[in-house]
Chains A and B, each alone.
Chain A
Amino acid sequence: EIVMTQSPATLSVSPGERATLSCRASRSIGSNLAWYQQKPGQAPRLLLYGASARATGVPARFSGSGSEIQFTLTISSLQSEDVALYYCQQYNSWRGTFGQGTKVEVK
């Protein structure tokens, strides 16, 4: 099983500032990484796939980078509506596995 580790667990960022979330795979997954946003009481929403491709309707302030084992999700200018849990998921194997999540708060 590929283990995904996200850091930090909680990230407090002032409105308009940059938020940087990390995700590390226990072994190489190429670019087969997706990011999801989950707001309280809602289902996860696909943000990025292929490590860096934005899903339909996702604002340009969300970007992704990385490959192999180290990945980053960046929110360039945090908005209040970005407060949520963010999960990474590897899909290099048919059994996709999720990280434990990073909670993004407004400072």
Chain B
Amino acid sequence: QVQLQESGPGLVKPSETLSLTCTVSGGSIRSYYWSWVRQPAGKGLEWIGHIYSSGTANYNESFKSRVTLSIDTSRSHFSLGLSSVTAADTAVYFCARDYFDNGGYYLDSWGQGTQVTVSS
């Protein structure tokens, strides 16, 4: 059973870059897409983007100018960078594995999530 674990600073200053890493264990990071999803307090889920093990990435247009995704298959982890953050980026950030089905991807395994607060 694959397991995912997010890590990174819980507090980021406005205008700085949020950086998170998701470590994959119990399964291979290769041949899958890997997603980031966030959830502001009391609100719904918002897909940020995903990255394939080859490095190919797709992004939610809402974040495209600020997001960077990267992957290190040798270390079995992938990372999210979100620049120029504001208080609106305060949320729980989840990493998840994409599972291919009928031309699209649903999220079959999730990390526990990590709270990131943007504040000075």
Contact = CB atoms under 8 A, between A and B. Distances in A.
Interface of A: 1, 30-32, 34, 36, 42-46, 49-50, 55, 87, 89-101
Interface in B93-111: 94, 99, 101-111
Contact of A93 (B45, B104, B112): B104
B40 to A, nearest CB: 12
Contacts, number: 70
Contact of A92 (B104, B111, B112): B104
B20 to A, nearest CB: 14
Given A43-B113, A44-B94, A96 B47 contact: yes
B101 A50 contact: yes
B47 A44 contact: no
A43 B101 contact: no
Contact of A98 (B44, B50, B108, B113): B44
Main secondary structure of the interface of A (DSSP, over half): loop
Contacts of B104: 32, 90-94, 96
B60 interface: yes
9 shortest interchain CB distances as A-B pairs: A91-B104, A34-B106, A43-B110, A98-B45, A32-B104, A100-B44, A49-B106, A91-B106, A46-B108
B25 interface: no
Nearest to A48: B106
**In this complex, which of B44, B50, B104, B111 has the most chain A Cβ atoms within 10 angstroms of its Cβ?**
B104
Contacts of B102: 30-32, 50
6 contacts: A34-B106, A43-B113, A92-B104, A95-B58, A95-B61, A99-B44
